[in-house]
Amino acid sequence: MLDYNDLRSGIVFIYNGQPYEVLDSNPLKMQQRRPVMQTRMKNLLTGAVLQQNFHQSEKFEEADIEKRKVKFLYANRGEFWFCQENDPSKRFTFKEELLGNKIKYLKSNMLVDALYWNEKYISVSMPIKMDLRVSEAAPGLKGDSATGSTKAIKLETGAYINVPLFINEGDIIRVNTETDEYVERIEKA
């Protein structure tokens, strides 16, 4: 059983019979009132984000979620198809709404972790940092580097992010998939 203090970012627990992942949590203690834990959590079955306050006396059941390696196959009309890593005949799909921001970084034949709960796949967990090739980038102009400016570029997956001006087309860069931010250049074109 999880306690009120255990509700930290990344914890998955059962709430109203469904698995939820804690996105943010803040303890709040107001004068002459019992402390509460303010949480922002995501329903792993529907993708809905919910804000909820919990009191000290509440207990929670930890969700028994298993991570399994799966391969992303392709996307078609808002559905994203995956198969088990060791058995390509066992295919399953997720709707675009459920995956949310993660779809920007999916590449064909890419291995990711799928969350498995109650005999079915419920979501996909992306790596926090990924190395991706820059497919489109405007050239940086001479003299622009003094201000720490950024420019928008397109990655091989179709995602757009802001990067420093010295990044060029063909470079391989590391991207934080949770914050959509540039981390570093891995290989120069």
Residues 60-113 pLDDT 10s: 999 998 999 999 999 898 899 999 988 889 999 988 888 878 788 998 899 999
Neighbours of 26 (CB within 10 A): 11
Q: Is the pLDDT of residue 53 over 70?
A: yes
Instruction: Note the pLDDT of residue 185.
Output: 92
Per CATH, the number for 129-187 is 2.40.50.140
> Model-level pTM?
0.75
Structure token digits, residue 89: 């005949």
Could you tell me what percent of the chain has a pLDDT over 90? Answer: 42
Domain segments of the chain as ranges: 4-62, 66-125, 129-187
- Residue 69 to residue 110: CA distance in whole angstroms: 10
- Residue 129 to residue 179: CA distance in whole angstroms: 10
Q: Tell me the mean pLDDT in the region 55-59.
A: 89
Q: Which CATH superfamily is domain 66-125 in?
A: Nucleic acid-binding proteins (2.40.50.140)
99 residue type, one letter: L
Q: Please, what is the average pLDDT of the chain?
A: 88
Nearest Cα to 7, choosing from 77, 74, 71, 55? 55
Q: Tell me the mean pLDDT in the region 174-180.
A: 90
- Residue 93 to residue 153: CA distance in whole angstroms: 29
Domain 4-62 and domain 129-187 have a common topology: no
Per CATH, the number for 4-62 is 2.30.30.30
Instruction: Note the pLDDT of residue 144.
Output: 58
- Residue 122 to residue 46: CA distance in whole angstroms: 9
